[in-house]
Amino acid sequence: MFKIVEKFKFFVIAPLVIVLIGAIMFGVCGGFAQDVDFAGGMTMYVEMGKDINLDELNKLVIEATPDGVNPTSQKSDGTQVVIKTTPISTEEREALQNAILEKYELEDSAILQVDNVDATVGNELKAQALKATLIAAVLMLIYITIRFEMRTGLAAVICLLHDILIMLSVYVIFRIPVNSNFIAAILTIVGYSINNTIIVFDRVRENYSKNKRAPFADTVNMSIKQTVTRSINTTITTLLPVVMLFIFGVTSIRQFTIPLMVGLLAGTYSSVFIAGPIWVFLKQAQANRKKKRIHKGK
């Protein structure tokens, strides 16, 4: 018998371990590794005109910038590179530009664009990301409550929280810079995960309506068994293009695809192994409260 509900406590061990490691790393490392988008700083786009050794460029950038500005250099598009640092003065920025132009024998026009982002803008982005996620969660809760019931909505939101915590843990553990891609990754996984969860819940409702006398846990187990192949196949199909982006994409794209891949797997995991058992738990908790009230009434 496919007993996901009965073995629920075993299925929560792995997510708890990942989140615990993430929490420890968060404390040890002093939070997330924030990109210029969130922490504020300078972004410089340079057209190199040819393929270059990125390690050599990184070394040059580190030598040409003051200590503590945490410079990074990444390939952007074609032969373009993007250089990011925490806030630096105009003189320091010009010194960096001159060092690059001299080293690679480039014209001034090779400096395509220089953006300075204030930390206040980063704080606004973080607030908007949190607001967008909360609004999405509330709207999904309302939708699922209308389509199914309140307990189902709560179970779905708990699964979303699981997926987000797993993604945040990955960002912390692998020190992936938190930037505007972070918002896109979170909202993408929220939408994908809820879709998988609703498919499981829809099958549970369909099977339960056919046989309401059967134990609800058995109905959930049967429904998960009927939908697990579909969930896995859908995830594999979705993962394939993401994996291709990771293999062939530039650094910034890879930083986006890693949490996206983790989020897709986490969303499938929660839909199969967590959503149904939580619905069963909430339903049984309500039934137990109802029995207690009846018992007290007697």
Sketch the domain layout of the chain as residue ranges. Answer: 8-31+121-297, 41-117
Q: What is the mean pLDDT of residues 227-245?
A: 91
Question: How far is Cα 65 from Cα 62, in angstroms, rounded to an integer?
Answer: 5
Domains 8-31+121-297 and 41-117 share a fold: no
Q: For residue 120, count CB atoms less than 10 angstroms from its CB and return exposed for 0-12, middle for 13-18, buried for 19 or more.
A: exposed
Query: Whole-prediction pTM value?
Result: 0.80
CATH topology (fold) of 41-117: Alpha-Beta Plaits (3.30.70)
pLDDT of 21: 95
Percent over 90 (pLDDT), the chain: 36
**Does domain 8-31+121-297 sit in CATH 1.20.1640.10?**
yes
Is 185:256 a contact under the CB 8 Å cutoff?
yes
CA 263, 244, 53, 91 torsion-angle sign: negative
Q: Which residues pair with 117 in a beta bridge?
A: 41
Torsion angle of C-alpha atoms 184, 189, 194, 195, degrees rounded to 10: 90
**pLDDT above 90 (res 203):** yes
Beta bridge partners of 74: 82
Structure confidence by residue, pLDDT tens digits, 5-27: 999 999 999 999 999 999 999 99
3-state helix, strand, coil in the chain (%, to 5): 70, 10, 20
Q: Name residues whose C-beta falls within 8 Å of residue 78's C-beta, 6 or more positions apart in sequence.
A: none
